[in-house]
Amino acid sequence: MIRTAIGFDHGIWLVAYLVLVGFLAPTLLCRGERRVLAQPGPDQGARLVAALWLAGVIAVPAGVLGQARVLVCAGAICLLAALVLLVDRAYAGGATPAPERSRTELTAHGLTIAVMTVSTGIGVLLAWSYPWF
């Protein structure tokens, strides 16, 4: 309805992106970390992960709406950097693993990170090949 009223071509995509990448993915990643880690290691950079994720969530739609591939790629790099830091936090880097964590929880958390990594790459490829540039 909004698209019809104002001609906003990317409205459906924007809503889906914000729900999936802006809300669902960080919620799942946060819950996964809570299940996998009893306590993050020193200087594991939770604030840096959050800042990178937020920068990516803002830059990608800004790039799409502003038709600027550079912003889309910069946002994707921020998201990927946050995912790399999450891998380091969960699987290396001196964090204290939760004593009750199971192999299933570790696998689920890793799978969530992997799916986000792949979907970020697909998003960049789509933005790069999209005809509005």
pLDDT tens across 13-56, in order?
A: 888 889 999 999 999 998 888 888 766 665 558 889 999 999 99
Asked whether residue 118 carries a pLDDT value surpassing 50, the answer given is yes
CA angle 105, 85, 115 (to 5 degrees): 55
10-19, 47-56, 66-75, 119-128: which is most confident: 47-56
What pLDDT shows up at residue 15?
Answer: 87
Residue 84's domain spans which residues?
2-36+44-129
Contacts of 52 (CB under 8 A, 6+ apart): 78, 79, 81, 82, 85
What pLDDT shows up at residue 131?
Answer: 61
What pLDDT shows up at residue 5?
Answer: 46
Full-prediction pTM beyond 0.95? no
Three-class secondary structure assignment of the chain: CHHHHHCCCCHHHHHHHHHHHHHHHHHHHHHHHHHHEEECCCCCCHHHHHHHHHHHHHHHHHHHHCCCHHHHHHHHHHHHHHHHHHHHHHHCCCCEECCCCCHHHHHHHHHHHHHHHHHHHHHHHHHHHCCCC
* Tokens of residue 52, six digits: 């990178």
What pLDDT shows up at residue 101?
Answer: 74
Q: What is the pLDDT of residues 76-117, one digit of tens each?
A: 999 999 999 988 888 776 566 777 777 788 888 889 999 999
Domain total for the chain? Answer: 1
Closest CA to 33 of 42, 18, 46: 46
